[in-house]
Amino acid sequence: MSNWLIYGLTSALFWGTYSIFSKIVTSDKFLKIQPDLSSLLMFAGISIVFLGYFLIKSQLGFNYKLMGFSLLILIVFVILFLLNKSGVNINWQVILFGFGQGALWALGMVFTFLAFSSGAEAAKLVPLYNTNTLIAVLIGLSFLHEVPAADERIKVISGAILIVLGGILVSR
């Protein structure tokens, strides 16, 4: 199996999971965080992944990396401060799912960048990583118990089968 294919499937896994984390953060059934505040949480997770990845992979000297990690810590603390002042009860679920939604999205992007840099063609990679829809549906059904009404089940199952078939067709 080629690297770009593995990277593309990994992107799909991260993005499918990210959408479930976003549901948990914003839904009235779970954490009930307003979309504007959820965006701040997501930004923290994105910052951690993108800046962390850059600092780890870069050839910068120790002092520059230290400055970068200090900036990252500052970003996280400012976001937590602003959320607290906005009335969000900061607890481990908020941090896990709030930062997690951004981190998962950013990891999906990193693996997409890796796939393209490994020679993936957009016409093949994009349909492949868009199988994230199937992953989100499966997680929603399995863990959030979002079972569709009886008249909708056949549509959901048919759509899932078509997504899998499309991913198989374009990856060959």
Distance CA 23, CA 93 (A): 13
Which carries the bigger pLDDT value, residue 102 or residue 153? 102
Distance CA 51, CA 110 (A): 11
Residues of the chain above pLDDT 70, percent:
99
Exposed e or buried b per residue across 86-105, where buried means at least 16 C-beta atoms within 10 angstroms of its C-beta:
eebeeeeebbebbbbbbbbb
Q: pTM of this prediction?
A: 0.91
For residue range 18-36, what is the model confidence (pLDDT) as tens digits?
999 999 999 999 999 999 9
For residue range 50-82, what is the model confidence (pLDDT) as tens digits?
999 999 999 999 999 999 999 999 999 999 999
